[in-house]
């Protein structure tokens, strides 16, 4: 199958995303600058050293001056000031100039971190993304958001900094654990729900083939997701008009769950997005934007694929109080003057920003999303009924009593 190319059209910051198999071995072919006599720095996730070496061998076969490998330990904790300092000092030590190239090889952690380093080294050097997780291939490598975490929260330090190319080699996914594949799928299905009803319907039919990494289906899902992301980013590169915020469907809820889990591996970002998307659609249904049938349809699809829809997957359970979730959401980057902002679906395939939501409603949605194991959290709530009916059963009765 031929490679697919999607262009992110951003004037002089435009770049191509190439999707195909076996691209690592010929990565240099997709880098739109001469490497002649240049230094190339490959910042990679230590768990994918072999992929970084494949890229390094290919660059070494060109007339580049030198190739350096800079390893970073796997995991979210690498998105830190300490890593930025260590990486940038290693690179400065080797000697970098404005026309050197930085390449990221790894998942979203490495892409965000290496991109941020590239944006501040000599005030900005060219940067290429080679994402190796499904989540980073469909989402984080596209659009130019780079950054790190601090004690105050995720991604609060960073820069908008576009790569000069994104090279997506789908073969790298063959070593990715299934749990990570599903986490990436959550961002794919999010794209359909927020922007493209036809794509969502296609996923209902073929989502299984995507998560089983059937090549043709996988490429189509990745390509469609990056086209959607590229369109939204083109319309609102630096999040000025609210358009780009639509990509955060499921993320206001999801971020609150991630924060409660303390980024300790109990809940992957994509899993939080999966549960958060269900909560956002629950909200959309309660606000009467989508029908109860639409909401059920989405739950059915998530369940069929094996995406989490409530908190029963998190073990040991989260212990944060309801107030804590509300507080986190008020402090979210997307909140305006403490007013929570939610992305809702006006219908399947069309999202909108909505801020006029009562705290009571949000608390109800959280309550219904907590599985029966969350009695400690629920102890302070009046939900004896909840324990008897189960999570979504209670929601349905709440829904019908309102309508």
Ligand X SMILES: NC(=O)c1ccc[n+]([C@@H]2O[C@H](COP(=O)([O-])OP(=O)(O)OC[C@H]3O[C@@H](n4cnc5c(N)ncnc54)[C@H](O)[C@@H]3O)[C@@H](O)[C@H]2O)c1
Residue ranges binding ligand X (CB under 6 A): 45, 47-48, 74, 76, 79, 106-110, 112, 132-133, 135-136, 139-140, 143, 145, 154-155, 172, 175-176, 180, 183, 269
Terminal-to-terminal C-alpha distance of the chain: 51
Asked about 286 being catalytic, the answer comes back as no
Report yes or no: 168 and 137 within 8 Å, Cβ to Cβ.
yes
Residue with smaller CB distance to ligand X, 70 or 135: 135
- From the list 58, 154, 248, 364, the catalytic residue is 248
- From the list 93, 123, 174, 360, the catalytic residue is 123
CA–CA distance, 254 with 278 (Å, rounded to integer): 10
Element (H, E) at 327: helix 322-331
Q: Closest approach of Cβ 199 to ligand X, in Å?
A: 19
Q: Which of residues 175-234 bind Zn ion (CB under 5 A)?
A: none
Assigned token pair, 141: 């490598």
Give φ, ψ of 183 to 5 degrees. Answer: -60, -40
- The CB-nearest residue to Zn ion is 273
Q: Closest approach of Cβ 143 to Zn ion, in Å?
A: 11
Q: Which stretch binds Zn ion (CB under 5 A): 78-86, 126-134, 224-232, 265-273?
A: 265-273
Pairing of β 4-8 and β 15-20: antiparallel
Report yes or no: 34 and 164 within 8 Å, Cβ to Cβ.
no
143 binds, among Zn ion, ligand X, none (CB under 5 to 8 A by kind): ligand X
Q: Closest approach of Cβ 338 to ligand X, in Å?
A: 23
222 binds, among ligand X, Zn ion, none (CB under 5 to 8 A by kind): none
39 - beta bridge partners? Answer: 66
- From the list 53, 239, 292, 327, the catalytic residue is 239
Report yes or no: 312 and 371 within 8 Å, Cβ to Cβ.
yes
- From the list 38, 76, 79, 145, the catalytic residue is 145
CA–CA distance, 99 with 115 (Å, rounded to integer): 16
> Which residues, at least 6 apart from 327, have a Cβ–Cβ distance to it below 8 Å?
none
CA distances from residue 122 to 116, 117, 304 in whole angstroms, order as listed: 12, 10, 49
Asked about 244 being catalytic, the answer comes back as yes
Q: Closest approach of Cβ 213 to ligand X, in Å?
A: 11
Q: Closest approach of Cβ 187 to ligand X, in Å?
A: 7
Which parts of this chain interact with Zn ion (CB under 5 A)? 273
Catalytic residues: 123, 145, 187, 229, 239, 244, 248, 251, 255, 269
């Amino acid at each position: 199958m031929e490679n697919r190319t999607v262009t992110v059209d951003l004037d002089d910051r435009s770049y191509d995303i190439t999707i195909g198999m076996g691209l690592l071995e010929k990565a240099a072919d997709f880098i739109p600058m001469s490497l002649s006599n240049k230094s190339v720095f490959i910042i990679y996730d230590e768990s994918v050293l072999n992929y970084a070496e494949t890229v390094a061998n290919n660059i070494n076969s060109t007339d580049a001056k030198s190739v350096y490998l800079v390893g970073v330990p796997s995991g979210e904790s690498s998105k830190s000031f300490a890593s930025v300092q260590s990486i940038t000092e290693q690179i400065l030590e080797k000697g970098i100039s404005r026309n050197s190239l930085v390449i990221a090889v790894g998942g979203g952690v490495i892409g965000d971190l290496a991109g941020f380093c590239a944006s501040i080294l000599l005030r900005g050097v060219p940067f290429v993304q080679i994402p190796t997780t499904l989540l980073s291939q469909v989402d984080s490598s596209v659009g130019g958001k780079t950054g790190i975490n601090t004690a105050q929260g995720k991604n609060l330090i960073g820069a908008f900094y576009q790569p000069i190319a994104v090279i997506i080699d789908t073969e790298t996914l063959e070593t990715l654990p299934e749990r990570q594949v599903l986490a990436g799928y959550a961002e794919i299905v999010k794209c359909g729900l927020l922007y493209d009803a036809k794509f969502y319907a296609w996923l209902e039919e073929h989502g299984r083939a995507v998560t089983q990494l059937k090549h043709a289906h996988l490429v189509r899902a990745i390509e469609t997701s990056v086209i959607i992301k590229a369109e939204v980013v083109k319309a609102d590169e630096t999040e000025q008009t609210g358009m780009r915020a639509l990509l955060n469907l499921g993320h206001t809820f999801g971020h609150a769950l991630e924060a409660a889990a303390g980024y300790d591996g109990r809940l992957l970002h994509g899993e939080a997005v999966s549960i958060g998307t269900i909560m956002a659609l629950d909200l959309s249904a309660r606000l009467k934007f989508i029908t109860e049938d639409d909401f059920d349809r989405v739950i059915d699809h998530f369940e069929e694929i094996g995406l989490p829809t409530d908190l029963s997957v998190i073990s040991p359970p989260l212990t944060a109080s309801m107030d804590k979730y509300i507080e986190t959401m008020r402090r979210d980057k997307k909140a305006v003057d403490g007013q929570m902002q939610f992305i809702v679906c006006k219908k399947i395939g069309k999202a909108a920003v909505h801020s006029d939501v009562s705290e009571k409603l949000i608390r109800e949605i959280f309550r219904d999303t907590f599985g029966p194991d969350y009695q400690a959290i629920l102890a302070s709530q009046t939900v004896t009924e909840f324990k008897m009916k189960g999570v979504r059963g209670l929601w349905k009765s709440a829904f019908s009593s309102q309508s």
